[in-house]
């Protein structure tokens, strides 16, 4: 499944802004090319906790399929209080403040913004927007 489709499904199920979910997954997974994305269907740097499968001998979670990732992340992401946020900096700050990542906020924000800009920028209505998945208007949504 493409990152755009996973982000669309996660956004629809969780209420988290599609462009922000997509940029977060792109940032966390090197646009779907990271070891954990390719081998473990982990597109968000999610660490395993008791009861989850581990990605080998690492602390990171293993998911058997992209669909399993979508199901889990749709449930997991709203727990970081990001539903309703449409500003990328506020989103990055809120994820950090709620323990999603430990990197510097500016590093995370800048990483996400690189993908948001590559994807054509933030739409005027990011909560009701699931991206231009058909490629009209020459927008690349980071597949």
9-39 tens-digit pLDDT: 999 999 999 999 999 999 999 999 999 999 9
Q: Which residues make beta-bridge pairs with 132?
A: none
Inter-axis angle of helices 18-28 and 105-118, to 10 degrees? 110
Please state, in angstroms and as integers, the Cα–Cα distance from residue 124 to each residue in 87, 127, 128, 130, following that order: 11, 9, 9, 12
Say what the pLDDT of residue 122 is: 80
Say what the pLDDT of residue 125 is: 58
Q: Output the tens digit of pLDDT for each of the chain's 143 residues.
A: 999 999 999 999 999 999 999 999 999 999 999 999 999 999 999 999 999 999 999 999 999 999 999 999 999 999 999 999 999 999 999 999 999 999 999 999 999 999 999 988 887 655 554 444 333 333 333 33
Say what the pLDDT of residue 124 is: 67
Tally Cβ neighbours within 10 Å of residue 1.
13
Please state, in angstroms and as integers, the Cα–Cα distance from residue 71 to each residue in 5, 13, 101, 121, following that order: 13, 9, 20, 27
pTM: predicted TM-score of the whole model, two decimal places: 0.85
Distance of CA 36 to the CA centre of its chain: 14
Q: Which residues make beta-bridge pairs with 60?
A: 47
Q: How many residues does the chain have?
A: 143
For 129, counting Cβ atoms within 10 Å of its Cβ (0-12 exposed, 13-18 middle, 19+ buried), the class is: middle
Closest CA to 143 of 64, 39, 26, 61: 26
């Amino acid at each position: 499944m493409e990152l755009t489709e996973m982000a669309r499904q996660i956004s629809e199920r969780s209420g988290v802004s599609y462009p922000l979910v997509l940029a977060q997954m792109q940032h966390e997974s090197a646009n779907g090319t990271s070891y954990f994305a390719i081998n473990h269907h982990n597109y968000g740097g999610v660490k395993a906790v008791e009861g989850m499968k581990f990605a080998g001998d690492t602390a990171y979670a293993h998911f058997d399929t992209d669909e399993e990732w979508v199901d889990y992340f749709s449930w997991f992401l709203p727990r970081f209080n990001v539903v309703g946020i449409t500003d990328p900096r506020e989103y990055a700050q809120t994820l950090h403040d709620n323990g999603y990542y430990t990197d510097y906020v500016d590093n995370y924000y800048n990483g996400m913004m690189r993908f948001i800009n590559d994807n054509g920028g933030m739409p005027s209505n990011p909560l009701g927007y699931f991206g231009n998945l058909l490629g009209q208007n020459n927008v690349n949504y980071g597949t």
